[in-house]
Amino acid sequence: MKRFLMLLALPVLLGAAAPSSTPAPSPANVHASHAWMRYLLPNLPAAGYMTLTNTGDLTTKLVKANSPACGSLMLHESKNDGGTAIMMMVKSISIPAHGQARFQEGGYHLMCMQPKMKPGDKISMILTFADGDDLLLLVPVYGPAGPPAP
Ligand SMILES: [Cu+2]
């Protein structure tokens, strides 16, 4: 009789084992590094460069940038069009899951149309992502030569 009871109990224990569940994907989680502005002259746009890293499981997009020091702050991409360097506005910039988007010369950059800054300043900036997250940054301003070599 004892043996019979033990056999009965076994399937119950197996059934109680938690099903192996895959964890829900974590939302996109973006941070910025190596952010800086290149300031040229008061009447010329200043460019913003940085690396955005997404440590989340979902791809996201940068859809907007704002700074009180810029008037309009646009998302731009530089391209080589048959030997001529051109730049154009882009609607968004993707940051892949567990990946990066690099803003650098000759590629994506932020374009600060009415710069109110000078080298040595730090300007505040808000980056807005497709999932509604905002990232607040303090971005150092350098002259044409950029940041000193590390
Ligand atoms: Cu530009």
Residue 145 lies in a domain: no
Does this model's pTM top 0.85? My answer is no
141 CA to centre of ligand 1 in angstroms: 16
Q: Cα-flanking dihedrals φ and ψ of residue 112, to 5°?
A: -95, 105
Q: Say if residue 148's pLDDT is above 80.
A: yes
Range of the domain at 35: 30-139
Residue 88 CB burial class (10 angstroms; 0-12, 13-18, ≥19) = exposed
User: Distance between CA 24 and CA 29 in Å, rounded?
Assistant: 14
Quote the number of domains for the chain.
1
Give the pLDDT confidence score for residue 3 in this predicted structure: 55
Residue 56 lies in a domain: yes
Residue 22 lies in a domain: no
Question: In this predicted model, which residue has the larger pLDDT, 78 or 26?
Answer: 78
Cross-strand bridge partners of residue 68: none
17 CA to centre of ligand 1 in angstroms: 58
pLDDT band for 118, please (50, 70, 90 cuts): very high
133 CA to centre of ligand 1 in angstroms: 24
56 CA to centre of ligand 1 in angstroms: 28
